[in-house]
A and B are shown apart, each in its own frame.
Chain A
Amino acid sequence: MTASAPERTARRIRCRHAMSLLRSPEFSLRRVVVAAFAGSVLLLSVSAGAHAQRVNDTVIGAPTAPVVPGRAVPAIRELAIDERIASDYGVGVGDTLRLSAEAGTIGEPVIVSAIVQRAADPSEVARSEFRVRLHLDHLQRLIDSDDRVDRFAVAVRPEAGAAGVDSLLARINHVAFGFRAHASADVAVESSRTFQVVDRFHRAIGGITIVASAIFLLCILLLKVEERRRAIAALRLAGLSRRTVALSVIAEAAVVAVVGSVIGAGLGWVVTLAVNAYYQRVFRTPLTFAILTPRIALFAVTLSLVLGIGAGALAAWRLVRTRPLVLLGR
């Protein structure tokens, strides 16, 4: 949800030194991609008519475009903006903006070369911030971080396998100083802590709801069965066995539970559509917030069936242990 700067503040690492280390034949890596993430905001001045507005942006510097040999760096640098800035401030490709690392300064002109669609990243969904992308050297110069980067993305040769990745991590960390290598899976687990908490919260609420549903179902079935005690007493007196009566009650409970859960699953599906439409609009993201998978639907129906059979069995037991004449009230 909100990762505070104390947690996110990262010491940058010397780029050239680490790159030369990682690119040594010893590691046999397929690809090393450098990304510098600047937590410091840059200020982007967007001229909109007579007004000059300021937008605070988180900036990522990365080699997003190939460097053409022999081509000089243009006098006015280019950047890519995300579609939020484009729509909120009416900025398009080819527009000139001003970019600075310090509020209150004029900044340097930059040209919008692309508009980028934001990925459906859960870790940033609640942060309604803008984002622009610069070339790494441009960002390093702007924030005065010379040869430093925040992280490297390293692609391992496919034939290395999981064991190869572990071995590589150990070897890199053995020689590294001032930085540390992590497997992507570990980073994903750490960065999804927010969603693990949300997941645990949802499970807890789900548990409470299941207990409430079970009691509700049991209550209703007991009442339904007791309401028909005279009819059942008559059937018993007519010769129906306790087993037949009990089975009929349980079967009825099972049918009620299954039909109820199927209707509930249908209702749940409609609710997921509403939830997704609402939160995708609120957070301006293509992220799917609620999803009803066949597995979840099957779980709901199965759980309802189990609860229904359990409640039916209890109601049937209370019914069949009472003598028919007592049920009739005689």
Chain B
Amino acid sequence: MRAILAFASLRRHPMRTLLAVLGLAIAAALLIDMVMLATGMRASFRSLLTSRGYELRVTPRGTLPFDTEATVGSASALVESLRAHPDIERVSPSLGSTVQAQRADRARSAFVLGTQPDLQGEYTVVNGRAPLGTDTLPREVIVNAVFLTALGATLGDTITMSTGRSAQLRLSGTPTRVVIVGEGRFLYVPPGLPALSAPLAAVQAFLGHAGRDRISLAMASVRADTSSATANAERTEVVRLWIEKTHARVTAISTETAIVQVEERLAYFRQLAIILGALSLLIGVLLVTTLVSLSVNERLGELAVLRAIGVPRSGVLQQIMLEGFMLGMAGILLGLGLGLVTAQWLNAILRDFPGLPADLDFFVWSAEAAWKSLAMLLVASTVAGALPAWRASQMRVAQALREEAIG
């Protein structure tokens, strides 16, 4: 009955109710977007890092993976040492650099990645196959879609790859012919950057002195023998510390550390999300409080009549709070849809950030976080109606009726 009365009260002023619901919907949309932003980067980055099953990244000391041009020398010894550790299951070394790729009259700079194809965690094969690690000639490469478009190439084409240019001789340096055997999706390469991957030994040979027995990164997978995530995390940390203690030239980064370091760089967005999320909540509360307060003031006579015919104080209180709840509910349902649409739009804007992997998302849907935040807004909007509802329930019935009758 009270719900029907509350609903009727809202229906009596459709314009006012519509605007209030719209206002709450925008507040809810902004809140859900900011929750997605605050939690999404972490979730997306974690998913990216763990997608290929490597828990540790070993880089030149003090650097993040591929954050600088630094490389580690005597890579074979390092990789062998890592593989000899009983808790390390597999190690995937890789070396990155820039090469000049040419097909017919088209030439482009491209990022080249040397990997061990059977162990690599840098790309997934979309079409064709991964290059063979044997010493076949011409060398085989897998490229991304951007590369194919930039050079107008297709699978099976042969291209020329060179590692440098000699200005004096006006020639591209050390040209090598390679055949494209596959198209891959490179997980950590920024969008729009042509990329290709060849077996590690081939890339080291391309680069000559600069690549001789050097790697940019080694990814290591730690054995997970127990079902306890905590025990596995502890084991990973022990292995990480062992690597740093044993090899002074490198830094070992766990997934957690990598996430923390990237979050430090993108801290601004997290902080902005928290501030804007809090503001959305405040705006929602203010809107409901103002609306219900003015609505109660306007209906004092009507509420006094309800009290006069025997409706208890708690009944008036509940009815008015129900109005706040209904407004909040309608606003949240509308805001949920609106928030998901605006999140796509804002995500498309932020994904243009230069240098970030193409697969990294800023806004990621997390049901638990979203429902928690929307429930918070619903509770806040319901409680926001509590003060005017309490004031209405405390009114003096006779005085209110007299004032209403006199007008």
Contact = CB atoms under 8 A, between A and B. Distances in A.
Interface of A: 1-11, 13-14, 17-18, 38-41, 43, 54-56, 58, 102-104, 126-128, 177-179, 193-194, 197, 200-201, 204-205, 208-209, 211-212, 215-216, 218-220, 222-224, 226-227, 230, 279, 282, 318, 328-329
B82 to A, nearest CB: 16
Contacts of A230: 407
Interface of B: 13, 15-16, 19-20, 22-23, 26-27, 29-30, 60-63, 66-73, 96-98, 100, 109, 111, 164-168, 170, 188-190, 193, 195, 216, 247-250, 262, 264-268, 276, 283, 287, 290-291, 294-295, 297-298, 342, 345-346, 349-350, 352-357, 407
19 contacts: A1-B265, A5-B69, A6-B98, A7-B193, A8-B355, A10-B98, A17-B168, A39-B70, A56-B61, A103-B249, A178-B166, A197-B353, A201-B350, A209-B30, A211-B26, A212-B283, A215-B23, A218-B19, A220-B290
Given A11-B165, A104-B249, A212-B283, A219 B19 contact: yes
Contact of A103 (B13, B250, B262, B276): B250
Contacts of A43: 61-62
A177 B167 contact: yes
B287 A216 contact: yes
B73 A102 contact: yes
Main secondary structure of the interface of B (DSSP, over half): mixed
Contacts of B68: 5, 39-41, 58
B195 to A, nearest CB: 7
B384 to A, nearest CB: 14
A6 B66 contact: yes
B69 A9 contact: yes
Contacts of B283: 212, 216
A58 B354 CA distance: 20
Contacts of B265: 1-2, 126-127
B354 A194 contact: yes
B346 A178 contact: no
A127 B297 CA distance: 55
A178 B168 CA distance: 9
Contacts of B100: 11
Nearest to B351: A197
B358 to A, nearest CB: 11
A6 B19 contact: no
Contact of B248 (A17, A103, A329): A103
A249 B102 CA distance: 71
In the A-B complex, the 7 residue pairs with the smallest Cβ-Cβ separation, listed nearest first, are A56-B62, A39-B69, A178-B165, A103-B249, A6-B111, A3-B355, A104-B249
Contacts of B193: 6-7
A39 B290 CA distance: 57
Given A18-B167, A230-B407, A223 B62 contact: no
B294 to A, nearest CB: 4
Given A3-B354, A5-B66, A282-B267, A215 B19 contact: yes
A18 B166 CA distance: 11
Nearest to A205: B276
B12 to A, nearest CB: 11
B114 to A, nearest CB: 13
B354 A212 contact: no
Contact of A102 (B23, B97, B195, B249): B249
B11 to A, nearest CB: 15
Of listed A54, A212, A224, A279, residue having the most chain B CB within 10 A: A212
B167 A179 contact: yes
Contacts of B250: 103
Contacts of B295: 223
A54 B26 contact: no
B59 to A, nearest CB: 10
Contacts of A56: 61-63
